[in-house]
Amino acid sequence: MVKITFCFESEAPSICVMAATNENILQTARRENIAIDAPCSGNGTCGKCRIRLLSGKVESTSDLEDGWYLACQTKPLSDIEILVPNTATAFHTGIRTAELTQAERAQLKTLPNSGFEAVSLKLCEPSLDDTLPDNERLAAAIEKKTGCKTVFTFHAFKRMAWILREEDFSIQVLGERKNGIFTVYDLVPSGISAPMCALAVDIGTTTVCAVLTELTSGTLLAKATCGNAQLRYGADVINRIIEQSKLGAERLQKAVLEETLFDLIEAVCKDAKINKSRIFRMSVAANTTMNHLFLGLFADPIRMEPYIPSFFRTQSFCAKELSIPIHPDAQILISPNIGSYVGGDITCGVYASGLWKNDELSLFVDLGTNGEIVFGNREFTVACACSAGPAFEGGDISCGMRATDGAIDRCSINKDTMLPTFSVLGGGKPVGICGSGILDVISELFTCGIINAKGDFVREGSRIVRDQYGTGRYVLAFAEESATDSEISITHVDIDNFIRAKGAVYSAIDTLLSAMDMDESVLQTVYVAGGIGSSISIKNAIAIGMLPNLPVENFRYIGNSALSGACAMALSDKAVCEIDELSQGMTYMELSTQAGYMDSFVAACFLPHTDAERFGGAR
Amino acid sequence: MVKITFCFESEAPSICVMAATNENILQTARRENIAIDAPCSGNGTCGKCRIRLLSGKVESTSDLEDGWYLACQTKPLSDIEILVPNTATAFHTGIRTAELTQAERAQLKTLPNSGFEAVSLKLCEPSLDDTLPDNERLAAAIEKKTGCKTVFTFHAFKRMAWILREEDFSIQVLGERKNGIFTVYDLVPSGISAPMCALAVDIGTTTVCAVLTELTSGTLLAKATCGNAQLRYGADVINRIIEQSKLGAERLQKAVLEETLFDLIEAVCKDAKINKSRIFRMSVAANTTMNHLFLGLFADPIRMEPYIPSFFRTQSFCAKELSIPIHPDAQILISPNIGSYVGGDITCGVYASGLWKNDELSLFVDLGTNGEIVFGNREFTVACACSAGPAFEGGDISCGMRATDGAIDRCSINKDTMLPTFSVLGGGKPVGICGSGILDVISELFTCGIINAKGDFVREGSRIVRDQYGTGRYVLAFAEESATDSEISITHVDIDNFIRAKGAVYSAIDTLLSAMDMDESVLQTVYVAGGIGSSISIKNAIAIGMLPNLPVENFRYIGNSALSGACAMALSDKAVCEIDELSQGMTYMELSTQAGYMDSFVAACFLPHTDAERFGGAR
C-alpha cells in the first residue's frame, strides 16, 4: 500500500488516501469518492483526467510532458503527491441555464390541475366546556369549509398545536384536495402570501435541470441547471451501471442527489426566496438508467440481456424515502419508462411535443448520447433507441467539450478563404467545441468541398494541417487564438466518430419508418429535442444526412422537452395520467433485431448518405 | 462565563462546558444534555442530583459535607471541576424485566389478526420475448396467488431486482394483505424461516418496556425494560413539558427515542436474533404527555387551561417519519387518549383488563405518579385521574427509590419487638425503599399501633428515633445494615406524603362512584395495574385505606396492563379497532370540578379514613 495525496488547483483542502499499487489513480479516486472527470470512464481516450505528479514515482502508459499523466493510465510506485487541475474537477459547473421563453412561461400557467389549495380558517377557541383536541377541531373546520375528510401529514401534525395558539386559532391550511380527502401539508398565519411549490427535474446523464413553479398558478419561480455529479463515474449509462456494481447503489445515488439535486434545490429556493419545505410536489424526467440510479435501484439487469428494468409505469415515492430536503411528504413522481433504453425523459418529451394527440404523422428525435426516435400520431406511437455515442455532447472528439462556457457552439466557414467564423458560449477565446459546433463545422467542411463524402480532407489551405501520414485536420483556433494555449481543431478521426453518430440516428429513423412500411414523405412535423437539439442548425443537420430531407419549416425545435413534460407532471394530475397512458400505448422496437438496420447504418455513414438522392442529390 | 468540567464516577470521559454564573449546575447539565438524575426537577427536595466539588468555588444553599452539593442548588463562582457519582447517572439502568407468565404467553398466541403473511412464489424468468419489468412480473404472480393488487414499500422495491436474480426468481414475499391490497414489506429466499415481527412498547414516565412478538403466530420472542432517559428532565409529566418548552421538542423526543427506545429495540432484536428491519409493525401505549413528547408534538397546551392535547383517537405514523430503526414503512400505532391526564396507557390497560366487555361493574386502578381510575362495564365506562405525586415510585420519600436493584419491596414488622423483616430486589443489603415497600411499612406501622391515624409515632422502641422536636422516624436499616452506609428510615414527613398519595387515589374512587350514584358495594372486580400495582399487598393497601374494603379475592393484579394492551394492538387490527372504540365510548370526568372531591380527599388523608367504618371499623 502507498499513500496518494490529492492536491487541488481549486481551493479544496488536499486529501490523503491509502492505495494499492495495482490500482490506477482514477480507480483510487472513484473508490475514495474524489471527483475527477472521466467521461470515457478510464479508457484513456478522453484525456479529461489529466493530473500532474508533484512528488513520488509512478508507472504510466500516458507520460504526457512536464509531469502530466492521465489518472486512468497511471499507477503509483511509491507514496505520491499529485495536483488535480480545475479542468478535472470543474466538469459540472459552468453549465448554462436556458431562460424560459414567454411562450413557455404562458404554457406553464395553463397546467395547474393538482388539487392544491390554501384554505383560510377561523376556529372556535377551546375552553373547559369545549375540549376537542386540536386535530379534531381543525378537521371539523376543514370539513365544514371543503366538505372533505382531513388527513394530516406528520409535518403539519407536529406544527399544529403551536401555530394554532401562536395565531389565535386563525390560520391558513395549505393542502391537497383529492377524492374527498383534504391532506394538510402545512399551517401558516392567515393573511400572508403562502406559495405552494412544485419542482420539475430533468435528470440527464450529463446535465440536470430544475424548474420551480407555484402549484396553483403555474407561475415560474426559478430555474437552475448543473452537471450531473455522476459524470465522474463515466459519460454514458453503461459505465454508470458498471460503477454502481463496483461502488454500490448509495454512491451513485448520493452523487445525483446530495451532490447535484440538493444544490439545485438550494439554488432555486434561494432565487425564489422560498422555504424548501414549501415544495409539496416534485417530478422527475430521466432515462431508465438515470431513474434507477436516482432511486438507488439495482441497475445491472438493464445492461444485461434480456435488459429488464425494475419498472416501466409511473412511480410515486415520497421525499422522506429519498431524504430529499423538501416537504417530507412531497410526492416524487417518476415518469414512466418504455424500455431499458427509452425512458421517462422520452415519455415526458413526447408528451410535451404534442405528437401523441395530433392526427398528423410526426417524428420526435431526441439527440444525446443515446438517440431516441418516436414516430406516430394519436392513433399509435412506436419508439426506438440508437447508441449515438458521446460525440453529440463533445465526447470522442479530440477538442470536444460539453455546451458550457468556452465552447464553440456555432460555426461557418468561408468557401473561398476556408477561414472559420464562430461564436463561443459565454464569449471570449474558445476552450473547445461542443456538439452543435462540431455539426456546423463538418457540414461547412463538406459544403465547402474541404472534405469528401467519406470525411477525407481533399483541399489544402492555411487551416488544413496534415500529420506525418498525410491525414488532415481543420484548425478552428491556433494555440495563440485559444483560451488553453492549445490548438482547437477537428481531426479526421473526430469526423469519423461524428459521422457514425449521425449515421446511427438517421438509420434509426429510416429503419423505424421502413418497419411501418412508410418513408420520410409521410412526416408532417419533426420535433427535435435534446441537449444538442436545442441549438443545432437544421439546415446543416440535413446537409450532413442526420435528419430527413424535409423543408426546414417542417422541423420544430422543442428544446428540453423532457423538462417541459416534467413541469406538466409536477403541476397537473391530468398530465400524470396522460403521460402514463401515453407510455402504456407506446410500442418499443428493438432496432438490433430489425432486418436491414445494419445495412441502413452502413449506408448512412457517409456525407450525406450513399444514396445522396435522399438529400437532394450530390453536391 | 466560567468553565465547568463534569467528571464521572463511571468510565465516561469528562466533559467541559461554558456556563453562566447565574445558572445552577443542574440547569447547565440539562442545557448541555448531560444526564444527571433529578426526579424533583430541581426543587432541591429529592437529593438525587448530589455532586462533589473537586476544585473551584461555588455558591450553594445545599452544602452537605465532604464537598458534596446538590447540583440544583449550586452555582459556580469560578471555573470548577465536579464529580458526578453513579447514583446520579445510573438512574435508568438496573430496572428489572418481569418475565411473562405462561398464561400471558398463551394469551399472545390468541391475538394475531393483522393480515401479515409470507407468500412463496416461483416466477417465470424474463427473456427477450418476455420483457415485463420486475415489478409487474412480481405483482402478477402475487395477484395470481392471492387475488390482491400489489403495492411495494420502497424498501422492498429497492431489493427486488437484486434478490429476484440472486434467488433465480424463486422467493418468499413478506407482506400484509388488507382490503384487496397486498403490501410487500420484504423479499427473502424461498424455503427459509422468515419471521415477521411486531413490537409493543409501553412508554411510562419512569419506565419503558418493549415486547417483541412474531406477527403471524403471536409467539413471544423477547422482552426488555429500561428507565425512560427523559427522567433527567424531571420525574413527572408537568416538569417534562416545562423542559420541552425550554429545551425544544427534539431534545425530549431524542431522550425517549435514541437514548431509550432504540436501545430496547437493539436489545430485543439481539436477544431474538432478528434483523431490526423485520419489525413490520409497532404499537405504543403511553400517557398523553408521553405520547406527545414521543412524537415531538408541542405539549404545552396539555398543562395549560383548558388542557387540550393535539389528538385523542388512535394515530398511525410510519417508522421513517420518526427515524425509528425498524422497517422504514412499519406502521407506528399510537393508542388513543381520553383526556390530557388519561392517556393511551389507560385505554390499553382497560382493554387488557376486559372490564369493557363484561356485564359486571368493575373498577380499574392504575397506580403511578398519576393515578387513573376507570369504572364501568360493557354498557359504559367513566375515567378520571388524580395526582398521586411521586410517592408510589419512591419520590418525595427521604429514602425512596424506584423499584430497581437494592430497593426494599416488601416488609413486615413484628408487633411486639417492632423489628422489621424485609426483602430486597436483587438481594443483598438495601439501598432504599420503593413504593410497595413504603406501603407495607406504613400499613405495618399502623397495624402494630406504632403510628396513629394521623401518622404520628405513638410508641417507642429501638427502631423508633426522634429528632430534636420529638418527631419520630422508623429505622428499617441502620447505617451499618445498609448498602450505602446511611440509615434507611421512614420519617413522619414520608408518611404524610404517602398518606396524601393514597388519599388522592381513594377519594378519586369514592368521588367517581358517588358521581354515578353508586358505592363500593357494586364492584365485582377491582383490577389493579401499574408499576407499583403489580407487587403490592392488597391486604395492606386496604388496611391503610387506599383501595376499597372488598374481599381480597375481588381484586385482580393485572401487572403492566398498558403493555398487554399494546401487544394486542401490535398483533391485531381487531384490537386496534376495539381500543379506538373503547376510547370513543369512555367518558372523562374532571375531578377538580366535582362537588365533594376536596372533602372526600381530606377525609381520606387519615389511616385508614375519617370514616373508619368503611374499612371495617377502628382497630
* In chain B, domain spans: 2-88, 116-189, 391-498
Mean pLDDT on A336-340: 95
State the Rg of chain A over Cα: 27
* Best residue of A134, A252, A589 to probe chain B, by most B CBs closer than 10 Å: A134
Q: Which of A307-321, B27-41, B227-241 has the highest mean pLDDT?
A: A307-321
Work out the minimum CA distance from A617 to partner chain B, whole angstroms: 40
Could you please report the per-residue DSSP string of B317-348?
EEHHHHT-SS-TT-EEEEPPPSBTTB-HHHHH
pLDDT bracket for residue A95 (50, 70, 90): low
H or E segment and range at residue A17: strand A15-19
B339 touches chain A (CB under 8 A): yes
Check residue A413 and give its pLDDT. Answer: 96
- Asked if the domains at A2-88 and A116-189 fall in one CATH topology, the answer is yes
* Cβ-Cβ contacts under 8 Å for B60 (sequence gap 6 or more): B69, B70, B73, B74, B75
Q: Checking DSSP bridges between strand A525-529 and strand A555-559, what pairing results, if any?
A: parallel
Smallest Cα distance from A237 to chain B, Å = 18
Distances (CA, A) of A301 to A592, B118, B155: 18, 26, 19
Q: How far is A305 from chain B (nearest CA, A)?
A: 7
Interface test with chain B among A162, A168, A310, by most B beta carbons within 10 Å: A310
Averaged pLDDT of chain A: 92
Mean pLDDT of A17-23: 86
Q: Which residues does A592 contact at the CB level (< 8 Å), separation at least 6?
A: none
For residue range A106-118, list pLDDT tens digits in order.
999 999 999 999 9
Mean predicted confidence (pLDDT) in B480-502 = 93
Q: Whose CA is closest to B617, among B549, B561, B551?
A: B549
Cβ of A158 within 8 Å of Cβ of B297? The answer is yes
Asked if pLDDT for residue A618 goes beyond 70, the answer is no
Question: Contact at 8 Å (CB) between B473 and B464?
Answer: yes
Residue B22 is predicted with a pLDDT of: 87
Alpha helices of B194-261 — where are they, by DSSP H? Answer: 237-247, 249-256
Judge whether residue B534 has pLDDT over 70. no
Q: Using CA atoms, how far apart are residues A349 and A125, in angstroms rounded to an integer?
A: 51
A563 neighbors A99 (Cβ within 8 angstroms): no
pLDDT tens per residue, range B358-396: 999 999 999 877 899 999 999 999 999 998 877 887 878
Q: Which pLDDT band, with edges at 50, 70 and 90, does A86 fall under?
A: confident
To test the contact with chain B by mutation, choose from A321, A342, A591, A592 the residue with the greatest count of B C-beta atoms within 10 A, namely A321
For residue A296, list chain B residues with Cβ-Cβ distance below 8 A. Answer: 158
Residue A510's SS3 state is helix
For the B2-88 domain, the top CATH level (class) is alpha beta
Query: Which pLDDT tens digit goes with each residue over B562-575?
Result: 999 999 999 999 99
**Out of B128, B306, B321, closest to residue A305 by CB:** B128
Condensed to tens digits (0 to 9), the pLDDT of residues B332-343 reads 999 999 999 999
pLDDT of residue B90: 62
What pLDDT shows up at residue A388?
83
User: How near does any CA of chain A get to the CA of B328, in Å?
Assistant: 8
Q: What is the pLDDT, as a whole number, of residue A619? A: 44
* pLDDT over 90 percentage in chain A: 74
Question: Is residue B527 within 8 Å of residue B355, measured between CB atoms?
Answer: yes
What the block records as the C-alpha cell of B90 is 445510573
Interface check A168 vs B, CB under 8 A: no
Interface test with B, best of A154, A337, A586 (most B CBs within 10 A): A154
The predicted model gives A567-592 an average pLDDT of 96
Per the CB < 8 Å rule, is A310 touching B133?
Answer: yes
Q: Smallest Cβ distance to B296: which of A158, A301, A590?
A: A158
B353 CA to centre of own chain? 17
pLDDT at A139 over 80: yes
If DSSP codes are grouped into helix, strand and coil, which group holds residue A59? strand
Judged by a CB distance cut-off of 8 A, whether residue B553 touches chain A is no
Cα B105 to chain center, whole Å? 21
Q: Is the pLDDT of residue B46 over 80?
A: no
Nearest CA in chain A to B127: A306
pLDDT tens-digit series, residues B100-152? 888 888 999 999 999 999 999 999 999 989 999 999 999 999 999 999 999 99
Which residue has better confidence, A460 or B21? A460
Which class for B273: exposed (0-12), middle (13-18), buried (19 or more C-beta within 10 A)?
A: exposed
Let me know: does B527 contact B517? Beta carbons within 8 Å: no
Contact: A134, B311; criterion CB under 8 Å: yes
Residue A91 is predicted with a pLDDT of 57
Measured distance CA(B441)–CA(A53) in Å, rounded: 83
pLDDT of residue A605 exceeding 50: yes
The pLDDT-based confidence of A35 (bands split at 50, 70, 90) is: confident
**B501: closest CA of chain A, how far (Å):** 26
pLDDT at B92: 56
B177–A contact, CB cutoff 8 A? no
Name the residue among B134, B308, B320 with its Cβ closest to that of A321.
Answer: B320
Q: State whether B131 and A307 contact (CB < 8 Å).
A: yes
**What are the residues whose beta carbons fall under 8 Å from the beta carbon of A575, sequence distance 6 or more?**
A111, A113, A351, A565, A568, A569
pTM, rounded to two decimals: 0.88
The minimum CA-CA distance between A255 and chain B, rounded to whole Å, is: 18
- What digits encode the pLDDT tens for the residues A496-546? 999 999 999 999 999 999 999 999 999 999 999 976 655 789 999 999 999
Phi/psi class of residue B166: alpha, beta or left (left: φ > 0; alpha: ψ in -120 to 50)?
A: alpha
A133 chain-B contacts, CB cut-off 8 A: 308-312, 337
- Cα B324 from Cα B269, distance rounded (Å): 14
Residue A188 has pLDDT above 60, yes or no: yes
Sheet containing strand A220-227, strands side by side: A220-227, A207-214, A197-203, A279-286, A331-334, A315-318
Cell of B31: 442545557
Predicted local confidence at residue B50, as pLDDT: 87
Residue A438 parent element (H or E): helix A435-447
Q: Is the pLDDT score of B618 beyond 50?
A: no
Kindly report, residue by residue over B412-444, the tens digit of the pLDDT: 999 999 999 999 988 999 999 989 999 999 999
Q: Which residues of chain A have a CB within 8 Å of the CB of B309?
A: 133-134
**What confidence tens digit (pLDDT) does each residue in A538-561 have?**
999 999 999 999 999 999 988 889
Q: Is the dihedral of CA A228, A234, A238, A242 positive or negative?
A: negative
Task: For an interface test with A, give the residue of B158, B245, B288 to mutate (most A CBs within 10 A).
Answer: B158
CB A433 within 8 A of CB A407: yes
pLDDT of residue A617: 59
Taking the Cβ of residue A465 and every Cβ of chain B, the question of whether any pair is shorter than 8 Å is answered with no
- CATH number for the domain whose boundaries are B116-189: 3.10.20.880
User: Hey, CA dihedral for B423, B426, B431, B435, is it positive or negative?
Assistant: negative
A161, A305, A312 ranked by CB distance to B133: nearest: A312
DSSP E strand stretches across B377-417: 381-387, 407-413
> In the 8-state DSSP scheme, what is residue A606?
S
Residues of B in contact with A130 (CB under 8 A): 306
For the segment A352-401, what is each residue's pLDDT rounded down to a tens digit?
Answer: 999 999 999 999 999 877 889 999 999 999 999 998 877 887 878 889 88
CA A511 to chain centre: 26
Which pLDDT score is estimated for B324?
98
Q: How distant is the Cα of B125 from the closest Cα of chain A, in angstroms?
A: 10
CB contact under 8 A, A296 and B339: no
Predicted local distance difference test score (pLDDT) of residue B64: 79
State the average pLDDT over residues A402-420.
Answer: 91
pLDDT at B619 over 50: no
Chain B residues inside the 8 Å CB shell of A306: 126-128, 130-131
pLDDT of residue B474: 97
Residues 6+ apart with CB under 8 A from B351: B565, B568, B575, B578, B579, B582
Return the number of CB contacts < 8 Å for A and B.
Answer: 107
